[in-house]
Copies of this chain bind each other. A is one copy, B any other.
Amino acid sequence: MNSTSPVDMFALTIGGITRDVPLVRLASNRRLPLVEFLGDTQLCAAAALELQKLLPENAQVLFTCETSSIPLVHDLAQISKLPYEVARKRRRPYMNDPLIQEVASMTLGVGETLWLDKNRSENLKGKQVVIVLDVVASGGTIQALERLILRSGGKVCARVAAFSQGKPKLELKVAQELPIFDGVG
C-alpha cells in the first residue's frame, strides 16, 4: 500500500479480465476492493463464465438479491439456460403476500430487509436453487437468501460467488478469493 496515495487501488482479476479498483471501507473497519459489475459488460461476462464452471449439474434456478449482483446473475442465466429470481430490497407496490426476510449485512453496517413476491417464491418451490452473489464478505446476505429459499419450499443446491473476502465460514464456491485488507489506509 502506498500511504501517500489518496485512494489505495487493487488489481481485481477474474476470467482473465483485470480492473484497477479502489479499496472501500466496510463498517467492520476492514477494506474491500470495490467490485462493480453494473456498467461493465466485459468483466461481467468473464465472471459469469467462471461461475458457470461452479454450477452443480442438478441446478434448476438461480437466486440473488438486488442490486449489484443482477447483471452477473442475468449473464449467468443466459449462458447456463437457467431461470433466475431476484429478491428485492424494497417492497414493490404490486407485491401480493410477499415473503419478508431480515438480513444483517456487515458490508453495509445496517440491517436490511429482503422482499420476495408470492408468485416469485413459487418459482423456487421444490427446486434445486443456487444462490449467486457478486461479493461475499460476512455471509449475512447468503443466510437471508437461504432462509427465503427454504421458506419458499425450495432446496439450497449451492452457493456461488464471483469474489469472497477471505475464506467464508459457510460452504461457498468462489471464482476468485480476495485478500483481506485492514482498515489502515
Contact = CB atoms under 8 A, between A and B. Distances in A.
Nearest to A119: B22
Contact of A70 (B67, B78, B93): B67
Interface string A18-50: 000010111100000010001101001100000
Nearest to A112: B90
A74 interface: yes
Given A66-B66, A66-B67, A109-B93, A77 B24 contact: no
A69 B90 CA distance: 16
A93 B78 CA distance: 30
Interface residues of A, number: 33
Given A67-B66, A70-B71, A86 B27 contact: no
A107 B78 CA distance: 30
Contacts of A109: 93
A84 interface: yes
21 contacts: A24-B94, A25-B94, A27-B93, A34-B94, A38-B70, A39-B77, A39-B85, A39-B120, A39-B123, A41-B74, A41-B84, A45-B78, A66-B67, A67-B86, A70-B71, A70-B74, A74-B74, A74-B75, A89-B90, A93-B107, A93-B108
